[in-house]
Structure 1
Amino acid sequence: MGSEVSTYGDVYSFGILLLEMFTGKKPTDYMFTDGLNLHNFVKMTLPIEIADAVLFLQGGIKDTPKQRSATAQKLEEFLSLIFRTGIECSAESSRDPKGISDAASALRSIRDVLL
C-alpha cells in the first residue's frame, strides 16, 4: 500500500509476451537460472537467433535464390525490430521507459514498412 499506480507493469508484461511469442520460450523455462531471464537471453542472442530462424525458414521458401535472399532479409529485419521492441518494453530499469502507445506505434510502423 502507499505506492503509486503505474502502467510500467503492463508495458513490461507486453514486452515479455512479444518475446515469448517470437522465441517460443517461457519466462519460467528451465534454462533461465543464475540471473539469466527471457529478456537477457533475447538481448544476448538476438543476431544468432534471427540468423537461425532465417536459415530454418529458407528451406520452406519456394522462390528463386534471389527472391529467397530478399525474403530472408525481410524476415531478419522484421524479427530484429520485433525483438528490439520486446526488449525495450521489458527492460527492468530505464531512464526513459517505453509507454504502451510507443510500443503500439513501433509495431504499426514495423507492419507498415515490412508487410
Structure 2
Amino acid sequence: MTAHVGDFGLARFLSEVAQTSSVGMKGSIGYIAPEYAMGSKASTQGDVYSYRILLLEMIIGKGPTDDMFKDNLSLHHFAKLALPEQVMEIVDPQLLMEEAEVIQHNENHLGRRNRMHDCLLSMVKIGVLCSAESPRERMWMKDVVAEMHAIKDLYLGVGIHRDKQVR
C-alpha cells in the first residue's frame, strides 16, 4: 500500500507539446509500455498499459520489477496464470486483512465475501487486459472506467436491494 508515481496521462501531455519523436522519453522498466522501447510515440494505449501497473500492483502487492519476476515470469503472466480459480491466492494479504474483519462482523458475511472475490477477480482481469503486449489488444480507458464503476457498485451492493424489492 505504498504510493508510486507513474506515467499515467503521458500521451495527453506529450500531444500538447507536439511530440514528434520518442527520443528522450524516460520511464522505469516494467512501468512503461513495451512499444515505447521500439520507438513508438506516446499514446493513450500506452497510458492504459501504465494503468495496469497501478491496478495489479495495488491488488497483488508486488511491482513489475519484484525479484520473483524473472525467467519469463512477469506481473502480467503471474496475474493471468491465477485467473480465475487462484485469484485470491495472489491478492496482497494486507489488502484482505481489514476486509476480513468487516466480513466477520457482518450478518451477511458469505454474500459480502463472494462479492469481494468477484470484484477482485474482475479487477485482476482488467489489469491483465490492460497489459497485453500489443496496444491493439488492450482495453480502452472508457471501458475500464465503466467496468470499475460496475465493480464498485457490485462491491457496495448497489442494486442488490432494488432487485429484491422489484421481484
Q: CA deviation at 1:113?
A: 2.9
Unaligned runs of 5+ in 1: none
CA–CA separation in structure 2 for the residues paired with 1:26 and 1:52: 13
Task: Normalising by structure 2, report the TM-score.
Answer: 0.58
RMSD (CA atoms): 2.6
Q: CA deviation at 1:34?
A: 0.8
CA–CA separation in structure 1 for the residues paired with 2:40 and 2:80: 30
CA–CA separation in structure 2 for the residues paired with 1:41 and 1:93: 18
Q: Which of 39, 43, 53 is the matching residue for 2:80?
A: 43
Closer, same or farther in 2 for the Cα pair 1:76/1:13, shift >3 Å? same
Higher helix share: 1
Aligned pair count reads: 112
Specify which structure has the bigger relative contact order, considering alpha-carbon pairs within 8 angstroms and separated by 6 or more residues. 1
| Structure with larger Rg | 2
Aligned to 2:125: 84
Matches within 5 A, 1:23-102: 23-46=60-83, 47-50=85-88, 57=97, 60=101, 61-64=104-107, 67-93=108-134, 95-102=136-143
Task: Normalising by structure 1, report the TM-score.
Answer: 0.80
Q: Which of 36, 39, 50 is the matching residue for 1:13?
A: 50
